[in-house]
């Protein structure tokens, strides 16, 4: 550890101790001049006593504004009326629309306050239950330190506050969650990672509610339990306090997730093919290796949908270039043409860092310099960092010309006629403004030499004619500082603020752009650092839209801020090939898809770093089949881990992918619903069983969509697994046999290395494709079968959404509802988009005996069969799926 890092770590510990011993004695504020106008209350907050000046001078007068924006949402904001302080720009995070007719008397939650010392509570109006209370915790408001705390129930069930690698339910003792994006190789537990989502959901048996702090400033969020009880506190190093309180629901935990979507936006839909299997590696050395992987997946009968190439394809690691010796244009185009001819797809990685290359003829740098789109140092010159290509500059995503510049680079490099025709999306890595230069980075050129950047090739280039698919300027100094959104006080230190958040990288600027780097609109990285990844991804999303107008994009990024899911998707970062990261990935996807509204999410299957094993990779291939985004990805220093490398892994992948592909329209329908109202596509068990306290801590099982229970083996070398089955009925997905849950754990023995326990939750009608296939294009030509899995009340429901799979605006859609009541399945809806397939059969589960009569559309049929061993009735149909129908079992 560097000496500077050690010193900063000590400062962090001292800061934490200082905070704990002094904040409670601060005077807080007194509310005066309280006024109410319609749904809005305002008040002046005046310092209530001698200033404590913990991390700077206490601000003497504040402005409080509380607005009932909807019946289920209160917006509370505390600002300094004497100064313009940073707030998250509307251009990055559009504010939600308030309902002008909302009144406090009709709201589901209420704001109460005490004037002196000022404190406030948020209550559920139906029960007067306190959901958030700052009583006993004084408000501290200083130039570079904001502090607010709330009491929590004992053993509170808190979820969210990401990104992290903790359990899904957060610990309530000694937890510090730091939000400051950093490159986190190995995603170490308990440290700040790539993303920033300052929202939490609290679940109680009396209901579920949510709290969102709209802030991109660095912060610590702490949860701790002491003799005086459990509390959660926010310690923020800038900006304002801007809270949204969400009422949630007393009965349905997913309601608060939908209410959060009203604030941050509903998730984007992705192309249908994006749900197929993706393969990537950092370390494919040349075009021949890429082609061989594609061929080998085909030979192994494993349905590879999309092939990726990491930054290996670049010349000297420069974005928007190809290495002419290792990845020549003509051969790369040949690979893409081959993939497209086989209904497969291709993706390249793109980094934000651009090689600093004045006078070298590097077009991307030259064009960006002419447009003056690079992030600036405090001095006004280009901010120089150090990344893979060596010394680099970084696009300033706030620059008014940066979108045009970035779009033009995409149009040129990914031109279908002259460049690389990638498929509708680009993936971005290092989007959290990573650089490799340790602070103080006084000489990035020397550090580039010391780190041997850009890294030299270590293999000889292939024969440019090698067969494949045999078997299958001065403008730098012209920058003028724009007016700041806020004027820095001469006492402010944005490089080393008085309160040091628990940044695992040490100083705020270590291994990233300096926190005093300046954007074109005058904002500084101190305030906007946590937005960098989302802004780059959004700019990339817009570039892809311009390149292929009218088509959905899939821009997969590591670094996200609240609201990113409305445009982009996510993978969980550089994990390790070990069982801990395998297990923890479930909590990761539950947070992103189930709380943060980034539903298309996945971890690197089999692990990114270090060597996987056959057992781990087999188990992970099956778990990964139930990630919304399914990708095998690892690094250049690890062994190869494509699924076909081991017979066991290959078979495990085939088995799991067959299940995934049969369920693809079911999960595609769930994403469509999420895009409408924010209903999560992954569900923790307590989302569906909110009164079952046993489910509150479970994060090794989850529901894929609303009705598919996934319970993977999570222990190395185990061939059995203990799974929790709530008090409900379930059905084995492989056999359709019913299993009665009793609110207890049961042991599943003999779970071999090529199987994963998957159950259908009772009460569902599933629209399954009749068979799995090698591509999603072929899958959409498979017939549907409807599986009816009755609940304990002998009813079941389901939905199916079908469209063309690629268009942003659909010319026609098919939207179907399925309901099984009183022994009759009714399938009805609108059939605007032609499915082009038949309904092959209806399958009724848990039939205690063979039905005497089966009627289809009112007409008796004699072709139904009954399997007594599994209690399954199968009714062959075979008619075109162009209209609704009924099947009656008597």
In order, the DSSP letters of 105-163 are GG-SEEEEEETTTTEEEEEETTTTEEEEE-TTS--EEETTEEEEEEEE-TT-EEEEEES
Q: Which residues contact 40 (CB under 8 A, 6 or more apart)?
A: 65, 66, 67, 68
Q: Has residue 542 got a pLDDT over 70? A: yes
Size of the chain, expressed as the number of residues it contains:
890
Once rounded to an integer, what is the mean pLDDT over residues 275-282? 97
Q: Which residues contact 45 (CB under 8 A, 6 or more apart)?
A: 29, 30, 31, 32, 61, 62, 63, 64, 78, 118, 139
Report which DSSP code applies to 235: E
- Rounded to the nearest 10 degrees, how much is the dihedral formed by the CA atoms of 461, 463, 465, 471? -90
3-state secondary structure 617-644: HHHHHHHHCCCCCEEEEECCCCCCCCHH
Q: What is the DSSP string of 793-815?
A: TS-EEEEEEE--SSBSS-S--EE
Q: Has residue 17 got a pLDDT over 80? A: no
Contact between 422 and 336 under an 8 Å Cβ cutoff? The reply is: yes
Contact between 482 and 522 under an 8 Å Cβ cutoff? The reply is: yes
pLDDT of residue 426: 65
Structure tokens at 619: 């188990």
User: How far apart are the C-alpha atoms of 398 and 374, rounded to whole Å?
Assistant: 10
User: How far apart are the C-alpha atoms of 800 and 787, rounded to whole Å?
Assistant: 12
Q: Which residues contact 277 (CB under 8 A, 6 or more apart)?
A: 302, 303, 304, 305, 306, 630, 631, 632, 653, 657
What percent of the chain clears pLDDT 90, i.e. is strictly above it?
91
Q: Has residue 487 got a pLDDT over 70? A: no
Question: Helices H, strands E: what count in the chain?
Answer: 15, 47
85-115 per-position pLDDT tens digit: 999 999 999 999 999 899 999 999 999 999 9
Once rounded to an integer, what is the mean pLDDT over residues 551-558? 94
pLDDT of residue 21: 54
Nearest Cα residue to 236 out of 168, 373, 142: 142
Q: Has residue 378 got a pLDDT over 60? A: yes
User: How far apart are the C-alpha atoms of 150 and 168, rounded to whole Å?
Assistant: 21
638-696 per-position pLDDT tens digit: 999 999 999 999 999 999 999 999 999 999 999 999 999 999 999 999 999 999 999 99
3-state secondary structure 310-325: CHHHCHHHCCCCCCCC
pLDDT band at 472 (very low <50, low <70, confident <90, very high): low
Q: Give bridge partners of residue 129 from the DSSP assignment.
A: 124
Contact between 709 and 703 under an 8 Å Cβ cutoff? The reply is: yes
pLDDT of residue 433: 84
Chain centroid, CA 797 distance in Å: 28
Q: Which CATH superfamily groups domain 674-889?
A: Golgi alpha-mannosidase II (2.60.40.1180)
Q: Has residue 792 got a pLDDT over 80? A: yes
Q: Has residue 490 got a pLDDT over 70? A: no
User: Are β-strands 630-634 and 604-605 bridged in parallel, bridged antiparallel, or unpaired?
Assistant: parallel
Q: State the pTM of this model.
A: 0.95
Angle between helices 402-413 and 363-371 (to 10 degrees): 160
17 exposure class (CB count in 10 Å sphere: 0-12, 13-18, 19+): exposed
Nearest Cα residue to 678 out of 284, 248, 323: 248
pLDDT band at 264 (very low <50, low <70, confident <90, very high): very high
CATH 3.20.20.80 matches 272-553: yes
Contact between 788 and 888 under an 8 Å Cβ cutoff? The reply is: no
Contact between 529 and 218 under an 8 Å Cβ cutoff? The reply is: yes
Q: Has residue 491 got a pLDDT over 80? A: no
Contact between 8 and 500 under an 8 Å Cβ cutoff? The reply is: yes
User: Are β-strands 385-387 and 207-213 bridged in parallel, bridged antiparallel, or unpaired?
Assistant: unpaired
Q: Has residue 6 got a pLDDT over 70? A: no
User: Are β-strands 73-79 and 721-725 bridged in parallel, bridged antiparallel, or unpaired?
Assistant: unpaired
Look at 7 and 260; give whichever has higher pLDDT: 260
823-855 per-position pLDDT tens digit: 999 999 999 999 999 999 999 999 999 999 999
Phi, psi (rounded to 5 degrees) for 764: -115, 145
398-436 per-position pLDDT tens digit: 999 999 999 999 999 999 999 999 986 666 667 778 889
Helix (H) or strand (E) holding 172: none
Nearest Cα residue to 601 out of 565, 653, 643: 565
3-state secondary structure 19-57: HHHHHHHCCCEEEEEEEEECCEEEEEEEECCCCCCCCCC
pLDDT of residue 183: 92
Mean pLDDT of all residues in the chain?
94
Half-sphere exposure at residue 663, Cβ-oriented, CA atoms within 13 angstroms: 29
Q: Give bridge partners of residue 179 from the DSSP assignment.
A: 219
The domain segmentation of the chain, as residue ranges, is 272-553, 674-889
Q: Has residue 14 got a pLDDT over 90? A: no
User: How far apart are the C-alpha atoms of 102 and 466, rounded to whole Å?
Assistant: 69
User: How far apart are the C-alpha atoms of 245 and 234, rounded to whole Å?
Assistant: 15
User: Are β-strands 109-114 and 119-124 bridged in parallel, bridged antiparallel, or unpaired?
Assistant: antiparallel
């Amino acid at each position: 550890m560097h000496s500077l890092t050690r010193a900063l770590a000590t400062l962090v510990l001292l800061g934490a101790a200082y905070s704990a011993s002094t904040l409670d004695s601060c005077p807080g504020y007194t509310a005066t001049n309280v006024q109410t106008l319609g749904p809005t209350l305002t008040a002046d907050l005046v310092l209530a006593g001698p200033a404590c000046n913990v991390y700077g001078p206490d601000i003497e007068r504040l402005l409080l504004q509380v607005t009932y924006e909807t019946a289920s949402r209160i917006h509370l904001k505390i600002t300094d009326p004497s100064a313009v302080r940073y707030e998250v720009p509307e251009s990055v995070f559009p504010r939600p629309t308030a309902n002008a007719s909302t009144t406090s008397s009709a709201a589901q939650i209420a704001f109460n306050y005490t004037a002196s010392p000022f404190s406030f509570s948020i209550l559920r109006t139906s029960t007067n239950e306190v959901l958030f209370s700052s009583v006993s915790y004084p408000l501290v408001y200083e130039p570079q330190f904001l502090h607010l705390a709330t009491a929590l129930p004992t053993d509170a069930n808190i979820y969210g506050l990401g990104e992290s690698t903790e359990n899904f339910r957060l610990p309530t003792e000694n937890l510090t969650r730091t939000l400051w994006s950093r490159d986190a190789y190995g995603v170490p537990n308990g440290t700040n990672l790539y993303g920033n989502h300052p929202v939490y959901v609290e679940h109680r048996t009396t209901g579920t509610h949510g709290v969102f702090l709209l802030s991109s400033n660095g912060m610590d969020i702490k949860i701790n339990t002491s003799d005086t009880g459990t509390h959660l506190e926010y310690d923020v190093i800038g900006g304002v306090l801007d809270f949204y309180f969400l009422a949630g629901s007393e009965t349905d935990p997913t309601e608060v997730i939908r209410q959060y979507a009203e604030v941050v936006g509903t998730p984007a839909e992705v192309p249908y093919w994006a749900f197929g299997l993706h393969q990537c590696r950092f370390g494919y050395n040349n075009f021949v290796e890429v082609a061989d992987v594609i061929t080998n997946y085909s030979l192994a009968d494993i349905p590879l949908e999309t092939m990726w190439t990491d930054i290996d394809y670049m010349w000297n690691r420069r974005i928007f270039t190809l290495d002419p010796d290792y990845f020549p244009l003509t051969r790369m185009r040949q690979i893409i043409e081959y993939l497209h001819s086989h209904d497969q797809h291709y993706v390249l990685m793109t980094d934000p860092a651009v090689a600093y290359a004045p006078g070298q003829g590097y077009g991307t740098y030259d064009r960006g310099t002419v447009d003056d789109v690079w992030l600036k140092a405090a001095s006004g010159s280009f901010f120089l960092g150090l990344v893979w290509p060596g010394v680099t500059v970084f696009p300033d995503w706030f620059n008014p010309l940066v979108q045009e510049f970035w779009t033009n680079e995409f149009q040129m490099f990914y031109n279908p006629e002259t460049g690389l025709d990638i498929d509708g999306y680009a993936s971005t890595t290092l989007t959290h403004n990573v650089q490799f230069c340790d602070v103080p980075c006084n000489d990035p050129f020397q550090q580039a030499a010391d780190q041997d950047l850009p890294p030299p090739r270590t293999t000889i280039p292939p024969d440019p004619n090698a067969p494949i698919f045999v078997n299958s300027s001065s403008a730098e100094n012209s920058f003028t500082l724009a007016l700041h959104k806020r004027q820095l006080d001469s006492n402010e230190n944005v490089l080393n603020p008085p309160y040091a958040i628990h940044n695992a990288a040490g100083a705020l600027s270590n291994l990233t752009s300096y926190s005093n780097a300046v954007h074109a609109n005058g904002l500084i990285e101190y305030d906007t650092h946590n937005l960098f990844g989302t802004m780059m991804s959004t700019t990339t999303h817009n570039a892809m839209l311009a390149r292929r107008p009218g088509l959905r994009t899939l821009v997969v990024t590591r670094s996200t801020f609240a609201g990113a899911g409305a445009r982009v998707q996510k993978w969980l970062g550089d994990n390790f090939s070990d069982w801990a990261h395998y297990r923890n990935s479930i909590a990761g996807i539950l947070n992103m898809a189930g709380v943060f509204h980034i539903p298309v999410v996945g971890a690197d299957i089999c692990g990114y770093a270090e060597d996987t094993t056959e057992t781990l990779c087999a188990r992970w291939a099956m778990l990964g089949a139930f990630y919304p985004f399914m990708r095998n990805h690892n690094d250049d220093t690890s062994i190869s881990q494509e699924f076909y490398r081991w017979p066991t892994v290959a078979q495990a992948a085939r088995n799991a992918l067959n299940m995934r592909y049969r369920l693809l329209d079911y999960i595609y329908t769930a994403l469509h619903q999420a895009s409408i109202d924010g209903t999560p596509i992954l569900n923790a068990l307590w989302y569906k069983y909110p009164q079952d306290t046993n489910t509150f801590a479970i994060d090794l099982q989850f529901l894929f969509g609303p009705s598919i229970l996934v319970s993977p083996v999570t222990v190395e070398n185990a061939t059995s697994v203990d799974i929790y089955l709530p008090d409900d009925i379930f059905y084995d997905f492989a056999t359709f046999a019913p299993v009665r849950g009793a609110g207890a754990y049961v042991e599943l023995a003999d779970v071999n290395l090529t199987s994963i326990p998957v159950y259908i939750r009772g009460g569902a009608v599933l629209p399954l494709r009749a068979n799995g296939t090698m591509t999603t294009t072929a899958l959409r030509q498979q017939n549907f079968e409807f599986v009816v899995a009755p609940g304990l009340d002998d009813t079941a429901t389901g939905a199916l959404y079908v469209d063309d799979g690629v268009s942003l605006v659909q010319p026609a859609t098919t939207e179907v509802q399925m309901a099984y009541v009183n022994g009759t399945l009714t399938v009805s809806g609108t059939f605007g988009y032609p499915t082009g397939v038949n309904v092959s059969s209806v399958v009724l589960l848990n039939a205690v005996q063979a039905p005497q009569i089966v009627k289809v559309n009112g007409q008796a049929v004699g072709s139904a069969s009954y399997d007594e061993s599994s209690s399954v009735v199968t009714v062959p149909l075979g008619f075109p799926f162009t209209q609704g129908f009924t099947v009656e079992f008597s």
